Amino acid sequence: MTQNKGKALIIGAGIAGLSSAYYLLQKGWQIEILEQNDLSNNCSYGNAGMIVPSHFTPLAAPGVVAQGIRWMFDSKSPFYVKPSLSTQLLSWGLKFLKHTNQNHVDRSASAIRDLNLESSSLYNEIAQNPEFDFELNQNGILMLYKTEKVAEEETELAHKASSLGLAVDILDKKGIQELEPNAQLDVIGGINYKCDGHMNPVKLMKQMISYLKNKGIIFHTQHKVTGYEIAGNTINAIIANGKKFSADRFVMTGGSFLPELAQKAGIKIQLMPGKGYSFMHTPENPIHRLEHAALLLEARVAVTPMNGQIRFGGTMELASHHDKINMKKVEGIVQSIPKYLPDFKVKLPKESEIWFGYRPCAPDGLPYLGQSSKLKNLIIAGGGGMMGLSLGPIFGKTVSELANDQKPTVEIKIFNPERFN
Ligand SMILES: Cc1cc2nc3c(=O)[nH]c(=O)nc-3n(C[C@H](O)[C@H](O)[C@H](O)COP(=O)(O)OP(=O)(O)OC[C@H]3O[C@@H](n4cnc5c(N)ncnc54)[C@H](O)[C@@H]3O)c2cc1C
């Protein structure tokens, strides 16, 4: 029997928080989770469900600034930064610029690859548990392109991926079409990242919550953490809804709200919310279906088969949290689909059918994962950005290893959560 290790309090019921609970539970911790909303939505639900060892290049990479500036002048483009004099955005932007260099990419690539590969095999383990069935399919992701320029860039990236030991096939038009016998592809070729996969994130989240509840984990919903009771280098309690919650260990997740949570504990974490949209589509003709998840590269649109339907998602708007749906961006997604997938006649969804979420984007494109050096009983897990779902299980496993004073399975030094303090 696992020994009782003490009590752990987790802030946030996204994939980072739930995975932390899953792995802490295995080590005998008594766990409670505080969540400011109910358990029906956050960034971990409506995302594209992709598991992405292919994303070994951080968001901050050479070339993104020039491309980003070009996109700023197109209302339907996949990228937008809301012009603002907010100090949060300016400070984030300066750090982002500082990291858009090849040195940073080279330094980060193998660390990100290792996190994602380990996480992918942990998803496989979770899926073996009969209490889970979240449509996990580790059959690869297709990167589809229509232009010679992108073909050239992606081929170079695929060679780099190969040199990092990732399983990749570079395919011409015929080769990529053979992988999708039930849907016409209007592309000049593509890369099959066989190391990748996809799932249904809504099923994963719901099943994870049921699993944890059945194991006795307590969820305090509608409990927003607003402060901490700190003595020296130790958190004694956190404050939510005017009540104190004490524990031996505290795990701070919080997704795109992590900077506010951390600031209240005197820790500076830099993140910008990267807003994105998704919607579900039921193909008119059921003969037309996709076997793989795919990225329509020039359009930056994600396409994922889910539960007999297809989820389309995309756009990255860097701005503070706001609930308004930018229909021009959704139109941009809809209009790009038939250019790659002519069989899919997708109508512009109604506002009520559109989901949005905020990717927690760090300026250097790296997650925040590790033990706080300021507060000895605090572990931070967040900043997953565009791969936060993919990284869920390795976040959770690492949190559990740190709480148990074990050496983490993967090297996490580069992800130090206090690196911008
Ligand atoms: C359109 C789109 C597509 C995406 N596709 C993919 C993909 O294919 N693959 C992938 O890996 N990633 C993808 N992502 C990114 C991924 O969804 C996120 O990185 C991930 O879900 C973040 O998980 P999280 O647990 O850190 O945060 P969240 O899921 O946002 O959870 C954080 C939770 O903390 C709670 N919280 C915050 N502050 C407080 C507080 N003060 N008190 C109590 N609770 C609090 C929030 O309410 C929230 O429930 C996508 C994102 C978008 C927008």
Q: Which domains does the chain have, with CATH numbers?
A: 55-98+137-197+272-361 (3.30.9.10)
Q: What is the dihedral angle through the alpha carbons of 132, 214, 23, 43, rounded to the nearest 10 degrees?
A: 70
Q: Is 237 helix (H, G, I), strand (E, B) or coil?
A: strand
Give the separation between CA 290 and CA 190, rounded to whole angstroms: 15
- Name 89's bridge partners: none
pLDDT tens-place string over residues 344-378:
989 999 999 999 999 999 999 999 999 999 999 99
Q: Respond yes or no on whether ipTM tops 0.95.
A: yes
pLDDT of residue 58: 84
Residues of the chain with pLDDT under 70: 1-2, 66, 68-73
pLDDT of residue 384: 97
pLDDT of residue 1: 47
From the CA atom positions of the chain, what is the Rg in Å?
Answer: 21
* Cα→Cα distances 175→260, 270, 295, 383, Å: 48, 43, 16, 36
pLDDT of residue 14: 98
* Cα→Cα distances 20→23, 239, 379, 392, 414, Å: 5, 20, 10, 8, 20
pLDDT of residue 5: 87
**E strands within 241-362?**
243-246, 249-252, 272-281, 293-296, 301-306, 309-318, 355-361
Cα 45 to averaged position of ligand 1 atoms, centre (Å): 8
Cα 72 to averaged position of ligand 1 atoms, centre (Å): 25
Residue ranges around ligand 1 (CB below 6 Å): 11-17, 34-37, 42-44, 47-50, 52, 224-225, 253-257, 261, 276-278, 302, 313, 357, 359-360, 382, 384-390
pLDDT of residue 82: 77
Q: Would you say 230 and 375 are in contact if contact means Cβ atoms under 8 Å apart?
A: yes
Cα 176 to averaged position of ligand 1 atoms, centre (Å): 32
